[in-house]
Chains A and B, each alone.
Chain A
Amino acid sequence: MDEPNTDLIQGTLDMLILKALSLEPMHGYGIARRIEQVSRGVFKVNPGSLLTAFQRLERVGWLDSEWRQTDKSRRAKFYSLTRAGRKQLEVETTNWNRRASAIARLLRAEG
């Protein structure tokens, strides 16, 4: 655990999960891997938080789940985005971009 920034910024986990699922349905480990790969190892996802987040997002109605065969013919729980989830992803992305650029501007001004 010597890599920096393994912890996710509070509240971004949901967005990352939604983003990871925006291409295709995936199972839990797949999602974790995708977040790790795409962020080039900056974000490491805690499995416990991840699985709990699935529960929460499913309850809210952004995710659907289904037990399916994997390519290795094992049973796994696959998550997919619902229409509400897709909309939520858009909203969160917009918000995030707005906030991120605001912070970037602030940092530039300080410098």
Chain B
Amino acid sequence: MSLWRQFTRGLRVLGNRKAADRETADEVSHYLEEATAALIARGLAPDEARRVARLELGGATAVREQVRGYGWENRVDILLADLRYAARSLAGNPGFTGVSVLTLALGIGASTAIFSVVDAVLLRALPYPHPEKIVRVWEQAPDSHRMNLADPNFDDFRTQSDTFADLAIYADWLSSVSGGSEPVRVDIAEVSSGFFEALGVAPSRGRGFAAEEQRLHGAPAAIVSYGYWQRYLGGATDLSRFHLRLEAAVYPVIGVMPEGFDFPAGVAAWIPREFDPILSRTAHNWRCLGRVLDGVTVAQARANLSAIARRIRNQYGKKVDLSDAAVVPLADALVGDVRTALLTLLAAVGLLLLVACANVAGLLLARTSARRKELAVRAALGAGRGRLIQQFLAESFWLSLAGGTLGILIAAWAVRILPAILPANLPRQEGVAINAPVLLFALAAIVAVTVSLGLFAAWRAATGDLQEALMAGSRSYSGTGASQRLRGFLTIGEIATTLVILAGAGLLGRSFLRLISTSPGFSPQNLITMEFSLPAPQWHMEEPVLVRQIHLVDDILTRLRAIPGARTVGFAGAFPVAAGDDLADGTFLILNGQKPPATFDEFERMAQNPSQAGHASYCLAGEAYFRTMGIPLIRGRMFGEQDDRNSPHVAVISESLALERWPHQDPLGQTIEFGNMDGDLRPLTIVGIAGDVRARGLDFPPSPIIYVDYRQRGVNANASPTILTRSAGPAGEIVSTARSIFHDLAPDVPVKFSTFADEMGGWLADRRFLLLLVGLFAAAALALAAVGIYGVVAFSVTRRTQEIGIRIALGAQRSAVVRLIVGEGARLAIVGVAIGIAASFAITRLLSSLLFGVSATDPITFAGVAVLLCLVALLASYIPARRAMRLDPNSALRYE
């Protein structure tokens, strides 16, 4: 009740301050009149009575002020007055205000934009019910290497564990899908029962998979994504008329997932696939996810699966390669390596904000020194320390509010353009937006900046002697030595922080240069890529189908080779540089004169002997592929005309495999068995050794590869066929001709045309993005640091104008003056750089996982950025030094 009264009365006063003041004045004057009247009644003369009454009252104005000063609304009044005063005083100093606001806007805007990405990718919960219970599961090898699951192991995990509500396997791959409005090449996922249950999401239309669909060789059915349904099924309500044709089988569409459901990312359709008991325990084909039971922790679930994995190991020994299991929350698994990169960005941008604040603090300090007298006068007139602090807080409030608002606008703009530069493989980036948590972050940044800058300035203003400040003549305008020293410290801090960002950017930059100058083992220029899928690639293909496919590929190649401008055209079973696992890999047998295995069981048995087993990637290729890619033949021969379906099958191996498996022997002429890759148990004779290719990506060591001839092995299930064309002419013309050739020869086959540079660029995009942003932040920090140094040195020149005048008048050389002034900047720079290098040594270690071919303490990078920073510092101090050099001693001596 009384609080409410306090509030409403206060509001009434605030709402009409004039009326309230008039009322007080009326009351006071009435009081005075009554007092006077009473004195007259006692017999005093009217004039005397008025004088005495006034004396008793103690001044009408003082009383009015005393009454007026009561209540919370008065504090609000004072605050508003301070804010008004601060706004006027900032507006009266547009240079200072502009620079400060822009600096803060840059810092707050950049950090808000980066935070929006961090929020969407790292912080926001996954869009599933109880996302913390969803986990990814892997088999783990004795060397801690994580592997996908093999069917029988998964079955053991599922049936023997008691910590999971659901456990499911899934895999996705690119496939051509027809049955919608047009055939497309999209991602398809095969999922086992429990998949949608583990994620906790059900189709929004139609139904989920039924029991007769969720068994081995069960009834076919497909659930499509909302996007596919909208785009290719016209968003139709009646799903029963749609049948998807993929991999030569027909799947009735039974359901549509809700909008926004996107797991695995980018998948257009899900089809059921169940556990197949005949498969080997080392065929790690399936990704696994699960939902833990209520009340079970991830650690408990892991312990549970570890025990099962050990049991499997004990039972099967060398026949399995797992010895443990890994269980990781899905959110962590999705984000993976991106975490380090994003946290690096956040750290860089945080440092940038720090530099920005230090810069504004430096400016404030200069301003405080200039206002020393004003402050001293205010303090002498009775302004309490609280009022002075409030005054500074009001100023820094305006600065950071303006800077923050501008910063949020910058961030909103940045978020709009971010999708264009964000790397495509960044998970969950579609959620990047300026939303409540991001605005909250910006607000927190604004408050932090306001408070820290305001208190800093107030602290500076409050220290020092009042009297001294009052008595110091106009010369105190240039600030005391103490405040100049403090600005020096601030600048040193700025330089040190800038050096840390620069060092990070430098290391990332050198990694990037290393990476793009790493030879991939082929020449990537002017390569056009055509990825496609042939109908019906299967494990065991009928001979006529196989032959027909080989002929189709040959026909396409012949027509493509006839295109003018297409220099060489080659065929391969996989895209040669891929971020993912495009090449299949597995165990092969070295026969050493033994009879090749007749069955896969026998193959498995022989593979138990490590002396005759090896591990390599499997790549289907034609002879022209090597010429097109520019992969050199090191020894032996390439595939030739004589190698056809019925002649002995041959293989070409990569150099690293030759060195690894046959270090002291000649691999040429050896026979190997790799039929587990394509279902064809005919042995392969090694006829040639080709140069290494970094097939898994530029920052991975070259993979050992066994190339086999597609005309001998057929375009089988383990191939994602790709035609590569080295072009002389413009890519556009060749692509349009190629498109019509595909249309003529294989109208059902969807083709994805691209250029190699684009594909590789996309692959390097995440590194380029990181480098670009950290580089930008480093450049911004460098600019701010330069401004900071300039500010300190320029100020010092102003302060020392008389001294310099005396020096020049006494005959100092102009160059000596320049040295004197530049030396001041250089001292700051050297101390800052030294501190920065020490800090960087500690900090850049955290970057290790993002570096390639460069150590985290790379001396060249550190020396480079140190020199760069020193040069900038010298330049920034040279400008004021020149001014000092040109001082006219006559006017300098008279300078006040």
A in complex with B: yes
Chain B contact residue count (CB 8 A cutoff): 27
Closest to A49 in B: B66
Partner of B2, one of A27, A59, A74, A76: A59
Closest to B7 in A: A59
Contact A59 B34 (CB under 8 A): no
Alpha-carbon distance between A30 and B702 when the two chains are bound, in angstroms: 102
Contact B66 A51 (CB under 8 A): yes
Q: Mark B31-45, 1 if CB is under 8 A from A, else 0.
A: 101110110000000
User: Which A residues are CB-close (under 8 A) to B857?
Assistant: none
Contacts A47-B31, A51-B31 given: A60-B2 contact, CB under 8 Å?
yes
User: Which A residues are CB-close (under 8 A) to B62?
Assistant: 48
Alpha-carbon distance between A102 and B521 when the two chains are bound, in angstroms: 103
A5 close to chain B: CB less than 8 A: no
What's the nearest-Cβ distance from chain B to residue A66, in Å?
12
Which segment of B20-28, B118-126, B432-440 sits at the interface? B20-28
Contacts A29-B30, A33-B38 given: A59-B71 contact, CB under 8 Å?
yes
Alpha-carbon distance between A60 and B33 when the two chains are bound, in angstroms: 28
Contacts A47-B58, A55-B70 given: A74-B6 contact, CB under 8 Å?
no
User: Which B residues are CB-close (under 8 A) to A28?
Assistant: 27, 30-31
What's the nearest-Cβ distance from chain B to residue A68, in Å?
11
Size bin of chain A's contact surface: 20 to 34
What's the nearest-Cβ distance from chain A to residue B783, in Å?
55
User: Which B residues are CB-close (under 8 A) to A56?
Assistant: 70
User: Which A residues are CB-close (under 8 A) to B26?
Assistant: 75, 77
Alpha-carbon distance between A51 and B58 when the two chains are bound, in angstroms: 13
Contact B35 A48 (CB under 8 A): no
Contact A29 B56 (CB under 8 A): no
Contact B70 A61 (CB under 8 A): no
User: Which B residues are CB-close (under 8 A) to A61?
Assistant: 1-2, 5
Contact A48 B66 (CB under 8 A): yes
What's the nearest-Cβ distance from chain A to residue B410, in Å?
46
Alpha-carbon distance between A28 and B69 when the two chains are bound, in angstroms: 18
Closest to B57 in A: A47
Q: Mark B134-177, 1 if CB is under 8 A from A, else 0.
A: 00000000000000000000000000000000000000000000
A46 close to chain B: CB less than 8 A: yes
What's the nearest-Cβ distance from chain A to residue B70, in Å?
5
What's the nearest-Cβ distance from chain B to residue A19, in Å?
20
Q: Please provide the chain B residues from 244 to 293 with a CB less than 8 Å away from any CB of chain A in the complex.
A: none
B816 close to chain A: CB less than 8 A: no
Contact A48 B30 (CB under 8 A): no
B9 close to chain A: CB less than 8 A: yes
Alpha-carbon distance between A74 and B26 when the two chains are bound, in angstroms: 11
B11 close to chain A: CB less than 8 A: no
B809 close to chain A: CB less than 8 A: no
B67 close to chain A: CB less than 8 A: yes
Partner of A51, one of B24, B35, B37, B56: B24
Contact A47 B56 (CB under 8 A): yes
User: Which B residues are CB-close (under 8 A) to A59?
Assistant: 2, 5-6, 9, 71
Contacts A28-B27, A28-B31 given: A52-B66 contact, CB under 8 Å?
yes
User: Which B residues are CB-close (under 8 A) to A72?
Assistant: 37
Closest to A53 in B: B70
A58 close to chain B: CB less than 8 A: yes
Alpha-carbon distance between A22 and B67 when the two chains are bound, in angstroms: 23
User: Which B residues are CB-close (under 8 A) to A46?
Assistant: 58
Alpha-carbon distance between A75 and B630 when the two chains are bound, in angstroms: 106
Contact A29 B71 (CB under 8 A): no
Closest to B6 in A: A59
Contacts A59-B6, A61-B2 given: A47-B34 contact, CB under 8 Å?
no
Alpha-carbon distance between A32 and B23 when the two chains are bound, in angstroms: 19
Q: Mark B664-679, 1 if CB is under 8 A from A, else 0.
A: 0000000000000000
Q: Please provide the chain B residues from 56 to 107 with a CB less than 8 Å away from any CB of chain A in the complex.
A: 56-58, 62-63, 66-67, 69-71
Contacts A28-B27, A58-B9 given: A52-B34 contact, CB under 8 Å?
no
User: Which A residues are CB-close (under 8 A) to B37?
Assistant: 72
- Counting from the closest, the 8 A-B pairs by CB-CB distance are A29-B34, A48-B66, A48-B63, A51-B67, A55-B70, A29-B31, A76-B30, A77-B27
22 A-B pairs within 8 Å (CB atoms) are namely A27-B30, A28-B27, A28-B31, A29-B30, A29-B31, A30-B34, A32-B31, A48-B58, A51-B24, A51-B63, A51-B66, A52-B66, A52-B67, A55-B71, A56-B70, A59-B6, A74-B33, A75-B30, A76-B27, A76-B30, A76-B34, A77-B30
7 extra interchain contacts, Cβ-Cβ under 8 A, other than A28-B30, A58-B9, A60-B5? A28-B27, A47-B63, A51-B67, A52-B66, A55-B67, A59-B2, A60-B2
